[in-house]
Amino acid sequence: MDQDQIELYAQKSDIDNNLSDPTVIAKYRLAADIAQDALTKVCARVADGIRVSELCAYGDEVILTYTSKVYNKNNVEKGIAFPTMISVNDCVEYYSPTGDAGDDVVLRNGDVVKIELGAHIDGYIATNGHTVVINPNPTSPVEGRAADVICAAYFAAEAALRLMKIGNNNIQVQEAIAEAAALFNCSPMAGTTSNEIKRYVVATDKQIMNVPDDENRPVKDFVFAANEAYTLNILIGSGDGTCKESINRPTVYARNVHQNYNLKLRSARAAFNEISTQFGVFPFATRALEDKRHRLGVTELTSHNLLIPYPVYYTRGSDKVAQFKMTVLISANGTTRITPPLTLPFVHSAYTIPEDSTIARLMATETVKTVKSGRAIAGIEAAEVAVPAAGMEIDM
């Protein structure tokens, strides 16, 4: 790419990601509303005896039902930006089973259930995530380490959000995440990040590490500026924060647009064509491949780096991991959270936040603007799902 092409690309990127453009904001807001509704409906179905594969398929269906009814002129791309992923207890992230024999989890009472998903409209991405505890006695708070880790993740997310303002930097956010986790005797999960996003880009090189790792994964320091969008993704564990990759094959992948290879297997060529047509640059779950035979081609695609896997990681089996995830826009007028928080689990931790802590001071400050959900999808017909009454908020 010569200098003229680089300059043209930069100019187009500036236009595409201009957060003062009402059209750009409208597409972000619609994607956020769709993701928010899908997350709310999946959370409502979490219960003892439910299979994770069924919930993941349902979350994807909700997103696709909405996106199929909007922007149907001019071939505007829209759909799933991240497939529904549900990671339980010691599973950290990216678990999205196919439902095949041996590849599933059945939820049980007491499970700490992390749900994350995302939608996009014309390449504008909104992702969110929430943690639910299956409480067989909903009138009594969940206690113990499950309560500790949920409180730690919640306050880490809220503190981080308040620091994502023009002029602040990623190091301040990382330090706040670490402090919030320590207050509840918990640890941020190694290898997990928050990322800047752009149109059709799920992660730029601007990253906020939940656990800094300058030796193995160096990240540049940066200052938040106007016209930036972020996925804030907080994952906190009740143990030491270390984890290891699952021995099972990943089920979530994304196409590597920077790699080419002359594929030999027919199944691989068919799979690649379906992936490129149906999912584009966005991550997908292998269960979404219409022809199961195409799943056989995923192995060759991965071996030649045409697909980027999202491995599933686990911490120690006795540990619990909680997650809160949101989409944040930073404009010249301030910072806005476009995926509002859901009702928190009813938990009670044995730990409290000292009044003189940085976290307490941040919680006392005025929060950033949070938009109300639902307005952008008003009037769009979707499958009706019974949502139970709102639960009880977090109890400190």
| Position 396 pLDDT exceeds 50 | no
Nearest to 331 by CA among 6, 1, 16, 25: 25
Whole-number Å distance between alpha carbons of 221 and 109: 42
For residue 369, the model assigns a pLDDT of 87
For residue 9, the model assigns a pLDDT of 63
- What is the overall mean pLDDT for the chain? 90
Q: What percent of the chain has pLDDT over 70?
A: 93
For residue 272, the model assigns a pLDDT of 92
Q: Name 116's bridge partners.
A: 85, 129
| Position 193 pLDDT exceeds 60 | yes
For residue 389, the model assigns a pLDDT of 32
3-state secondary structure 232-272: EEEEEECCCCCCEECCCCCCEEEECCCCCCCCCCHHHHHHH
Residue 171 placed within a domain: yes
| Residues 325, 210 share a domain | yes
Residue 49 DSSP code: T
Which of 261, 292, 311 is at the close of a domain?
311
| Residues 167, 275 share a domain | no
**Can you tell me the mean pLDDT for 21-30?**
95
Which CATH number fits the domain that encloses residue 353?
3.90.230.10
Which CATH number fits the domain that encloses residue 291?
1.10.10.10
- pLDDT band of residue 366 (cuts 50, 70, 90) is confident
For residue 216, the model assigns a pLDDT of 72
Number of domains in the chain: 2
Residue 388 placed within a domain: no
Residue 11 placed within a domain: no
Which of 293, 311, 329 is at the close of a domain?
311
| Position 141 pLDDT exceeds 70 | yes
> How many CB atoms within 10 Å of residue 11?
10
For residue 218, the model assigns a pLDDT of 77
For residue 3, the model assigns a pLDDT of 62
Domain extent, residue 304, equals 250-311
Residue 12 placed within a domain: no
Residue with tokens 């859901």: 342
| Residues 111, 138 share a domain | yes
| Residues 259, 133 share a domain | no
Rg of the chain (C-alpha set): 20
| Residues 206, 171 share a domain | yes
Is pTM beyond 0.85 here?
A: yes
For residue 387, the model assigns a pLDDT of 30
| Position 95 pLDDT exceeds 90 | yes
| Position 205 pLDDT exceeds 70 | yes
- Give per-residue pLDDT as tens, 274-294: 999 999 999 999 999 877 777
| Residues 271, 184 share a domain | no
Residue 38 placed within a domain: yes
Residue 276 placed within a domain: yes
| Residues 235, 173 share a domain | yes
Residue 6 placed within a domain: no
| Residues 190, 302 share a domain | no
| Residues 276, 151 share a domain | no
| Residues 57, 201 share a domain | yes
For residue 31, the model assigns a pLDDT of 97
Structure tokens at 235: 């994952």
**Can you tell me the mean pLDDT for 33-38?**
97
| Position 392 pLDDT exceeds 90 | no
Who has greater pLDDT, 261 or 13? Answer: 261
CA-CA-CA-CA torsion for 5, 11, 17, 20, nearest 10 degrees?
-170
| Residues 342, 228 share a domain | yes
| Residues 162, 219 share a domain | yes
- Give per-residue pLDDT as tens, 229-284: 999 999 999 999 999 999 988 999 999 999 989 888 888 898 899 999 999 999 99
Residue 8 placed within a domain: no
